[in-house]
Amino acid sequence: MPQITTRYVMVVLVSLLVLPLCGCGDRNPQADLNPTTGKHSDPAWLPAGHTAAVQDHGYNCTECHGADLQGGISRVACTSCHLENARQVHPAGWGQFAYALHSQFVRQNGTASCAVASCHGSDLNGVSGSGPSCSSCHLGGPLSAHPQTWNADILSFHAGYGSSYPTSACATAVCHGSDLKGVFLSGPGCNVCHTNL
């Protein structure tokens, strides 16, 4: 029965080739590492690619990043970039109030953990598709919402703002509000002091 034997051998061979592939069915295809570089092969892995992988495939990162996502055999903890937790880039407690609660964090911890290449950029000038530049809101650089010179006496100095800054610089959604009527936990409404604004 040479034909049966040949067919049997073929079936075994094909099974041997296919079975290992099937066994990896629950593996995240985007998480496969490039064998030459040893890095994630998706060119868009940072900043947004890995987010999509997590959302599409659940948290199937543990086999390499550890059951607690603190590094495992990859030695890259999710919190080496994320602040405090693997699932969100910012501390969970910030919720929708990141615009206001980040200032206290930076005062206490400095900017090192924001100045990550894939987050707000090592120069804090922002990263395309990721965190904005600190100066997209601030007028005085990463550490100062207002121009630094104002900090000495903000009541006097802001009075001349019109010659240096357009109203739109104050009327942003997270600063004094697009209608200048103030923002919860952030800048007061101009009308708190001015009757004409």
Residues 143-172 that bind ligand HEC (CB under 6 A): 143-146, 155-156, 158-159, 162, 170
Q: Considering only residues 96-135, where is the footprint of ligand HEC by CB under 6 A?
A: 99-100, 102-103, 106-107, 111, 114, 118-120, 124, 130, 132, 134
Applying CB under 6 A, which of residues 64, 70, 71, 113 lies at the interface with ligand HEC?
64
Applying CB under 6 A, which of residues 9, 33, 44, 92 lies at the interface with ligand HEC?
33
Please, what is the minimum distance in Å from the beta carbon of residue 147 to ligand HEC? 10
Please, what is the minimum distance in Å from the beta carbon of residue 17 to ligand HEC? 21
Binding region for ligand HEC (CB under 6 A) out of 8-16, 18-26, 57-65:
57-65
DSSP the chain: -HHHHHHHHHHHHHHHHHHHHHHTTTS-GGGPBPTTT-SB--TTIIIIIHHHHHHHH-STTHHHH-TTSS-GGGT--GGGTSSS-SS-SS-GGGGGGHHHHHHHHHHHH-STTT--TTTT-TTSS--TTSPPPGGGT-SS-TT-SS-GGGGG-HHHHGGGHHHHS-GGGT--TTTT-TTSSB-TTSPBPGGGT-S--
Interface with ligand HEC (CB under 6 A), residue total 71
Binding region for ligand HEC (CB under 6 A) out of 4-12, 17-25, 53-61:
53-61
